[in-house]
Structure 1
Amino acid sequence: MNHDAAPLDRRPADLDDDTIAAVGKVSEALEYVERARGHLYSFHQLMGGADLALGDACEALRKAGHAAQADRLETELVGRNVLYGRWTFQIVEEFDDGYWTEFRQQDRRVREELQAGERHVFEATMKERRRTHGRPDHEARP
């Protein structure tokens, strides 16, 4: 099968370049949010690890004869909320259930309304324009 004969054409008929670019910017913004979400999960795991490590440090301090310092750290920091009333899992859940979910729904809605639901139309159009047709490793599709 000639994979070059089947272009990666996701562009709905009569869709103008300005609309494709604008919808692409919405999706690009979502990609930033997705990356931020990954960092939020990293923050969640790092803070959880820090809390567990601090618990271990308290045990080591107590074993070394420094119970006052261990008690203070346990009282003031171990298990402490990182934001008012929240551990990091609560921050992640609130972000996921609110902003992230809404952003994904709005991105999908814009694509459905303007691009017949197709994803990455901007990128597919760019690929079709930039690739060298007929050359190995420039195929439109796998």
Structure 2
Amino acid sequence: MTDDHRQASDPAHARPDGAGDELVATVGRLSEALETVERARGALYEFHQLIGGAHGMLQDVVEGLRSTGHDEWAERIRNELLGCNVLPGRWTFQIVEEFDDGYYRLFRQIERGVRDDTMAGRRHVYEAELKASLWRPRVPGHDAAR
């Protein structure tokens, strides 16, 4: 980013004094990495809900197999698959909780600490500067602040 286009249009996203281009880009990359982890977390919750939905379907399958005279398969599903851990010792809610309480919490703490220490706690400084550098006065949709 050039010096001419560094100023974000609002103070909440302004570059702190002394923060150089490389630091702003690096902290922006860290925030982007956190956004990717947020997407992974969403996929993990989707996995949790999909497995739960499949579990509910299996209960219907057991009933259907029994009612059609396939008691052996119904019993095998009921005894072996219903209630089975998806990973050793864990159901999906435990996986979600361990992820949230471990890696996810640590990642958020570190990203916040780096931002607090280097960007005065400001979020999206890099993106705000990119927006400012692409701003075109009097062009619809290029409002300076929002």
TM-score relative to the length of structure 1: 0.92
Partner of 2:29: 25
How far off its partner does 1:140 sit?
A: 1.9
Match of 2:87 in 1: 83
The SS at the match of 1:73 is helix
* Cα RMSD for the two superposed structures: 1.2
Q: Does 1:64 align with 2:68?
A: yes
Match of 2:120 in 1: 116
* Equivalent-residue separation in structure 1 for 2:14 and 2:92 (angstroms): 40
Query: For residues 109 and 134 of structure 1, what CA distance do their matches in structure 2 show?
Result: 38
Number of matched pairs: 137
Q: Which residue of 1 aligns with 2:9?
A: 7
The alpha-carbon deviation at position 88 of structure 1 amounts to 0.1
Is residue 2:143 matched to residue 1:139?
A: yes
Q: Evaluate the alpha carbon distance shift between residue 15 and residue 134 of structure 1 in structure 2; reply closer, same or farther with a 3 A threshold.
A: farther
The equivalent residue for 1:105 is 109
Does the 8 A contact of 2:62 with 2:75 survive in 1? yes
Question: Structure 2: how far apart are the matches of 1:45 and 1:28?
Answer: 26
For 2:4, the equivalent position in structure 1 comes to none
Shift of residue 137, structure 1, vs aligned partner: 1.3
Q: Cα offset for 1:109?
A: 0.2
Deviation at 1:12, TM superposition (A): 1.1
Q: Which structure 1 segments of 5+ residues have no match? A: 1-5
**In 2: Cα distance, 1:57 partner to 1:125 partner:** 56
Q: CA deviation at 1:54?
A: 0.9
Asked whether the equivalents of residues 9 and 128 of structure 2 are also in contact (C-alpha less than 8 Å), the reply is: no
Residue 71 (structure 1) shift: 0.1
Q: If the length of structure 2 is used for normalisation, what is the TM-score? A: 0.90
Deviation at 1:134, TM superposition (A): 3.5
Q: For structure 2, list consecutive stretches of 5 or more residues without a partner in the other structure.
A: 1-7
Please list every run of at least 4 consecutive aligned residues from structure 1 whose deviation after the TM superposition is greater than 4 angstroms. Answer: none
